[in-house]
Chain A
Amino acid sequence: MADIVLNKSRADQVEVAIETADTYLTRFANSEIHQNTGEHTTEVVVRSVFGQRVGVASTTSFDREAVEATVKRAEDIAKLQPENPGFPGLPGPAEYEAVDGYSEETATCSPERRAAAVGEICRLAVKEGLVASGSFSTAAHETMVVNSRGLLAEVLFTRANLLTVVMSGTGSGYAERFSVCVDDIDPRQVAEEAVEGCLADADPGDIEPGEYEAIFEEYAVADMIQMLSYMGFGALAFQEGRSFMSGNIGQKITGTNITIWDDGLDPAGVPLPFDTEGVPKQKVVLIEEGMARGVVYDSYTAAREGKQSTGHAVSPLPSAGPSAVNLFMAGGDSSIEEMIASTKRGIYVKRLHYTNPVHPAKSLLTGMTRDGTFLVENGRIVRPVKNLRFTESILGALSSAELISRETKLLPLYSLGGIRAPAVKVSKFTFTGVTEY
């Protein structure tokens, strides 16, 4: 397929990215499977370059005729454009580190195995008089990037993700596991965590919004770090001045106990050796001991600053900008139990819901708590409370981080990436509203 593109091309430079995926998802609600899907997809994306004019076209067909037509379309688009002086050309050949991001067990996981796992969760929930919902997905991908400068990158990788929300009439609990290998996921453990959380969340009481100490489980912290990445860890937002990192490199932006980085090669995440341009992924330290250190680059944004891409392109078009999709937040030396024990009056948050930036340059985020919000008083959880809305600067909250857990949890980030995050206790967090349940 790549040869067809390279041979057909009349452009100065050409790149072809080929992706095939087999993705299965078993979805359940009301303690039964209600959607169960399998899809086989293919995509060929061609980027043609004449001088500094770039055209991109794609097709889902692997027919020779369709692929050749796609090459022609990309070239026609490129020829009709004015030059883009910022386009640095396609990346050259590179060496790639071998990463272990593929599991045969995940690639061959059957609908019967997914159904059995879901059945186990549903049985445990029903036994306690509860209702289970969730999804279990397994996917195998093959990605190849080839260009006319001699770059050749290819990788097989897999992803498995099981999550459940278990509900009673008044409360709910949550659990999620994510891994390259489906064998790492224990459905019983997932069910037990969610059932236990739901039983603890019975009849949540009233609570006044306001400023509290707050303990966030890994699910909630991962959501916050994901939104930080969306708002400002990419070079495009940084260069345009709309990131909280803009103008702050070398400045202290959180507490000194906060370190966040991106590493697409670390086996503790979900490794991928290269980005959508075929550029090898580099580890990029974003925040180090509270100091803003750097952002991630693709070829386009790197060229603007005379730098090398860090391997964080997510699209052949510059408009998307680079993105940090293999995130890690450093663990600390505490535990959730110690966080609770050290809290005089605070809110314990299982996870967040519908987070959305209010002001990205200020890292101001709003969202709700969900599936387990508790009042902590004098070192112990005293009762479940109704879900709260927050409107808060995430960097501000991380500036008051007092305790960070040793344990971290790997969770999915966007469609194919991952984030490994600890639980965090902060001394100040502003809850601005409350809902009715």
Chain B
Amino acid sequence: MLDVPELKDALDLAVAKGASYADIRAVRRRRESISVKNGTVEGVSMSEDQGFGVRVLVDGAWGFASSSKLDLDEALRVAGDAVRIARASAGVKQRDVVLAPVKPVTASHVTPCKVDPFEVPVDKKIQLLLDADKLAREDKRVRVSTASMSFFEEEKTFISTEGARIKQKRVESGAGISALAVGQGEVQRRSYPAAFGGDFACAGYEFVEALDLPGHAEQVGREAGDLLEAPQCPSMTTTVILGTNQMALQIHESCGHPSELDRVLGTEASYAGTSFLTPEKRGKFRYGSELVNITADATIPGGLGSFGYDDEGVPAQRTPLVDGGIFANYLTSRETAARFGERSGGTMRADGPHRMPIIRMTNINLEPGDWTLEEMIRDTKEGIFLDTNKSWSIDDKRLNFQFGTEVGYLIKDGAIAGLVKNPTYTGITPEFWGSCDAVAGRGEWHLWGLPNCGKGEPPQAAHVGHGSAPARFRNVRVGVGKW
């Protein structure tokens, strides 16, 4: 990997060619992925990528260039390319980019990791997956069982013309299982601990072992089979209790994304859209009921959205987004915060060396309340409990959403009354959060890791976290569409 002297030479060249500000990130990443399906190892892969990206401000406009060729000549060529690109940008600008101040630091940060997952023998990992995979197929209605784990390590050096020198290293681990049952004209999937690869954290192999995939595999297979025989989720307006996994997606789509200030200011308009949380709403708008307290917290040890410093060298922070139901703050960058005369909230991250940092969620969490899931169900005359996300969609201002979950359990007179298949629910974001009348406590609160949040052009995948306990919402429309 290029080190600080070469990186600094590249920045010096950018300044000599006219940059008023420049930063450079040198990044080395490696990944290991293992998947098994129906008792067979489907794939084991290891990838390693290295590169660097130079970001420059010239004549008040941005330019960015990157390369995976690691030598000084290439670093200088790329720095020059970034300046040329920035100059082209300056020909189509409405205003000069201004950056909010940040104190440049020399620092390092490493995420917690007890057992280096890359040092655990591959055959040991394969065996754990095969064990779980076999148990998931104990139920004969299961046609396809899968088990997978993946590990990610990133080392990053950031330096800027303002004097920042930051080195960071993160290690991530994650795993999951799923069972696909087919029969009676139906196809149903059940997953543990979550769909789409499971759960992830900034942690070592100890995180995968603690998930105890084999211990949950039989139940996953059985529930997939049971879903084949379950009745279709009825179409109705009712009380909905969401489990923590579905809460993670609900928070992600309807609070996390609309709080990104770059979206609010229009810079994602042509791709994922804008946001209903326009600037005049800050500090006044009732986003949810008084029970709704949502926080962006990049400082939680082990969170997939945790780090020491963002990709502008701004320290990780904890920021309330929704406070007692009132929309309070945005996720910000140096450029967007400066538009409001504020300091950056430290949420700029890039997906590797070849992407320009953009505002990303950190760990966006619904703070715990004082109920329990059991109390919520007991207190519900008629409703439905939904969990494990299956599908998601939301409009381009983040108002009208619709989610599907793997399972739904009808609730009648304070007790679970039966399983239903293909549950969906839909709503308008502030109405939905406004109907929240119960949030479970810290004992049932879980911080989920999502390694695949898509945003930006060219596309970038961010690793983010969402903490939540189960929560209850009134008058929600469920069972959408014709089945």
At the interface, yes or no: A256 with Cβ under 8 Å from chain B? no
Given the contacts A30-B265, A37-B356, A38-B85, A57 and B395 also touching, CB distance less than 8 Å: no
Contact B394 A33 (CB under 8 A): no
Contact A31 B94 (CB under 8 A): yes
**Residue in contact with A54 in the complex, picked from B43, B272, B483, CB distance below 8 Å:** B43
A45: nearest chain-B partner, CB-CB: B47
Given the contacts A61-B68, A131-B266, A354-B393, A359 and B480 also touching, CB distance less than 8 Å: no
Contact A391 B43 (CB under 8 A): no
Given the contacts A80-B121, A354-B395, A361-B187, A41 and B45 also touching, CB distance less than 8 Å: no
Contact A28 B92 (CB under 8 A): yes
Contact B270 A57 (CB under 8 A): no
- Scan A30-42; emit 1 where CB is below 8 A from any B CB, else 0: 1111111111111
- Scan A90-112; emit 1 where CB is below 8 A from any B CB, else 0: 00000000000000000000111
List the one stretch of A146-154, A278-286, A325-333, A363-371 in contact with chain B. Answer: A363-371
6 contacts between A and B (CB under 8 A): A31-B92, A36-B89, A37-B458, A40-B68, A81-B126, A353-B395
At the interface, yes or no: A25 with Cβ under 8 Å from chain B? yes
Tell me the bound Cα distance from A393 to B457 in angstroms: 30
At the interface, yes or no: B42 with Cβ under 8 Å from chain A? yes
Tell me the bound Cα distance from A338 to B351 in angstroms: 46
**Residue in contact with A39 in the complex, picked from B50, B67, B92, B482, CB distance below 8 Å:** B67
List the one stretch of B58-66, B283-291, B374-382 in contact with chain A. Answer: B58-66
At the interface, yes or no: B424 with Cβ under 8 Å from chain A? yes
Residues of A within 8 A of B459 (CB): 415
Kindly list 6 other residue pairs between chains A and B, CB separation below 8 angstroms, not including A35-B358, A61-B50, A430-B481.
A58-B49, A81-B122, A319-B43, A362-B483, A432-B402, A435-B428
Q: What 9 pairs across the A-B complex have the smallest Cβ distances?
A: A391-B481, A317-B43, A435-B400, A111-B88, A133-B270, A133-B269, A60-B49, A56-B45, A115-B88
At the interface, yes or no: B165 with Cβ under 8 Å from chain A? no
Contact B354 A39 (CB under 8 A): yes
| A41 smallest CB distance to B (angstroms) | 5
At the interface, yes or no: A303 with Cβ under 8 Å from chain B? no
- Scan A115-148; emit 1 where CB is below 8 A from any B CB, else 0: 1101100100000000101110100000000000
At the interface, yes or no: B182 with Cβ under 8 Å from chain A? yes
Which residues of chain A from 47 to 89 have any CB-CB distance to chain B below 8 Å in the complex?
A: 54-62, 66, 70, 73-74, 76-78, 80-82, 84-86
- Scan A362-396; emit 1 where CB is below 8 A from any B CB, else 0: 10101110100000000000000001010111000
Contact B426 A38 (CB under 8 A): no
At the interface, yes or no: A350 with Cβ under 8 Å from chain B? no
Contact A435 B395 (CB under 8 A): yes
Residues of A within 8 A of B40 (CB): 82, 84-86
**Residue in contact with B426 in the complex, picked from A80, A354, A433, A436, CB distance below 8 Å:** A433
At the interface, yes or no: B399 with Cβ under 8 Å from chain A? yes
At the interface, yes or no: B452 with Cβ under 8 Å from chain A? no
At the interface, yes or no: A165 with Cβ under 8 Å from chain B? yes
- Scan A15-33; emit 1 where CB is below 8 A from any B CB, else 0: 0000000011111111111
Tell me the bound Cα distance from A68 to B273 in angstroms: 45
Contact A25 B123 (CB under 8 A): no
